[in-house]
């Protein structure tokens, strides 16, 4: 409400301005957006704390996905190596072309998609490996939910005001973060936002 009442920057943008910049957002006003974020965060935040079983499970699954993606890539590569041999490819082309030229075209289209899948699998594998490497490099965060909370509100702030969230602990954004945290529940612990500048 304080943000909505501000007359100078950073100030709340109109709903029409937000919808124009983010047409796929299905924007329904700042109050609904803030409430939805806070509800979602409060419902899920315990599962993302650094010592939660859920978070450990996610990291373990990510490690397993790296292995699965390696297997997928190897399987596709093996098949492509086989099919790209002259004799086998010729058999497919002759068999399909003899029956129906459109079937050959469809087969070749799917074959090219399979070739592209190799690159897609490699990207997915690298993305997962990089994420796991970042976790190992940074160590276990003391409070992952704190980082998630500030990052989520920074995104919401950017949508509502059109400006990036300030790292200044005396800024309107810092007040927004503190007020949002206090609104979650009366018995939540006091939390320091001093590392805010890192997020």
Residue 3 counted as domain residue = no
Report whether 135 contacts 61 (CB < 8 A): no
Q: Using a cut of 0.75, tell me whether the model's pTM lies above it.
A: no
Residue 4 counted as domain residue = no
Query: Which is more confident, 34 or 196?
Result: 34
Residue 2 counted as domain residue = no
Domain that holds residue 171: 28-49+142-198
Give residue 13's pLDDT band: very low, low, confident or very high (50, 70, 90). Answer: very high
For residues 174 and 123, membership in a common domain is answered with: no
Average pLDDT estimate for 155-165: 93
For residues 172 and 97, membership in a common domain is answered with: no
The average confidence (pLDDT) of the chain is 80
Residue 86 counted as domain residue = yes
For residues 124 and 59, membership in a common domain is answered with: yes
Report the percent of the chain where pLDDT is more than 90. Answer: 25
Digit-coded pLDDT (tens) for 90-144:
766 666 666 666 777 777 788 889 889 999 999 999 988 888 887 766 555 445 5
Query: Which is more confident, 167 or 194?
Result: 167
pLDDT of residue 122: 92
Close Cβ partners of 21 (under 8 Å, ≥ 6 residues apart): 159, 162
100 φ, ψ (degrees, to nearest 5): -165, 120
Close Cβ partners of 199 (under 8 Å, ≥ 6 residues apart): 147, 150, 151, 154
Give the up-direction half-sphere exposure of residue 58: CA atoms within 13 A in the CB hemisphere: 13
For residues 174 and 100, membership in a common domain is answered with: no
Domain boundary (100, 118, 138) is at 138
C-alpha 52: how far from chain center = 20
For residues 122 and 181, membership in a common domain is answered with: no
Residue 52 has pLDDT above 50, yes or no: yes
DSSP notation for 105-120: HHHHHHHHHHHHHHHH
Q: Which two tokens stand for residue 118?
A: 């190799």
Instruction: Please report how the helices 86-99 and 53-83 are oriented relative to each other, as an axis angle in degrees rounded to 10.
Output: 80
Residue 197 has pLDDT above 50, yes or no: no
Structural domain count of the chain: 2
For residues 91 and 133, membership in a common domain is answered with: yes
Residue 16 counted as domain residue = no
Residue 153 counted as domain residue = yes
């Amino acid at each position: 409400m304080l943000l909505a009442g501000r007359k100078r920057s950073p100030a709340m943008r109109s709903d029409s301005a937000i919808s124009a910049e983010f047409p796929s957002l299905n924007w329904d006003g700042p109050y609904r957006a803030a409430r939805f974020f806070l509800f979602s965060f409060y419902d899920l935040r315990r599962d993302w704390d650094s010592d939660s079983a859920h978070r450990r499970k996610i990291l373990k699954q990510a490690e397993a996905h790296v292995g699965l993606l390696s297997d997928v890539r190897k399987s596709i590569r093996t098949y492509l190596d086989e099919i790209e041999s002259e004799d086998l490819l010729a058999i497919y082309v002759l068999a399909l072309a003899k029956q129906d030229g459109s079937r050959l075209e469809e087969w070749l289209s799917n074959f090219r998609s399979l070739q592209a899948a190799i690159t897609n699998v490699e990207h997915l594998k690298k993305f997962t490996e990089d994420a796991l490497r970042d976790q190992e490099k940074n160590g276990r965060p003391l409070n992952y939910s704190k980082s998630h909370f500030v990052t989520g509100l920074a995104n919401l702030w950017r949508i509502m005001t059109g400006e990036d969230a300030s790292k200044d602990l005396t800024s309107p954004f810092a007040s927004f973060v503190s007020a949002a945290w206090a609104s979650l529940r009366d018995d939540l612990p006091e939390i320091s936002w001093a590392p805010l500048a890192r997020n």
